[in-house]
Amino acid sequence: MVAENRVIVELAAIPENVGVARLMAAMVAAQAEFTVAEVDEVKLAVSEAVTNAIVHGYRGDSRQMVRMEAALEDGELTIVVIDHGRGIEDVALAMQAAVTTDPERMGLGFSFMEAHMDQVEVTSQVGQGTRVSMRKRPAAKDVASLKGS
């Protein structure tokens, strides 16, 4: 098990790189005490955040880059996904379930991220971009700390 790690990648804003981001995040998560099911949750959350950066942030402009940072600190995973795209006018509204600016989509991306991660923080500025920071701690580790081990 690895308690401390830091991986930073820049991905061209093409849909094919959602899978690349998922795998990299999963590999970092797998170094900590996450179960296979928890790693799957991390993969889902990362997929949603990176898809949003590509689809909404950059609107498919494949020359742009999405940055993903995956870090383990004291066994806790932090994933940060950053784009320098359009930004979000009203973050609180955008994060509500079923709110989308694209009628083809379901508006559940942020809800999935919040369901699968312990904490999701979004900062955004119109015309500047968006930063999504997500944290997750292995559930088993909480049990261990309750027992005082």
Ligand X SMILES: Nc1ncnc2c1ncn2[C@@H]1O[C@H](COP(=O)(O)OP(=O)(O)O)[C@@H](O)[C@H]1O
**Per-residue contact string for residues 90-109; x = within reach of ligand X by CB under 6 A:** ----x----xxxx--xxxxx
83 binds, among Mg ion, ligand X, none (CB under 5 to 8 A by kind): ligand X
Tokens of 11: 């991905």
- CB closer to ligand X, 101 vs 119: 101
Q: Distances from the Cα of 16 to the Cαs of 12, 47, 52, 119, in angstroms? A: 9, 11, 13, 27
Measured from the Cβ of residue 8, the count of other Cβ atoms closer than 10 Å reads 11
Regarding beta strands 129-136 and 119-125, do their DSSP bridges make them parallel or antiparallel, or are they unpaired? antiparallel
Q: Which member of 21, 32, 88, 134 binds ligand X (CB under 6 A)?
A: 88
Q: Work out how close the CB of 147 gets to ligand X at its nearest, in angstroms, rounded to a whole number.
A: 37
Closest C-alpha to 31, from 75, 88, 96, 83: 75
Q: Which residues are catalytic?
A: 48, 52, 105
Q: Work out how close the CB of 48 gets to Mg ion at its nearest, in angstroms, rounded to a whole number.
A: 5
For 27-38, b/e burial (b = at least 16 CB within 10 A) is ebbbbbbbeeeb
94 binds, among ligand X, Mg ion, none (CB under 5 to 8 A by kind): ligand X
Q: Residue 119: what residue type?
A: Q
Which residues inside 45-74 make contact with ligand X, applying CB under 6 A? 48, 52-53, 56-57
| Residue 85 touching ligand X (CB under 6 A) | yes
- CB closer to ligand X, 106 vs 143: 106
User: For tokens 């600016």, what's the residue?
Assistant: 101
User: Which residues lie near ligand X (CB under 6 A)?
Assistant: 48, 52-53, 56-57, 83, 85-88, 94, 99-102, 105-110, 130
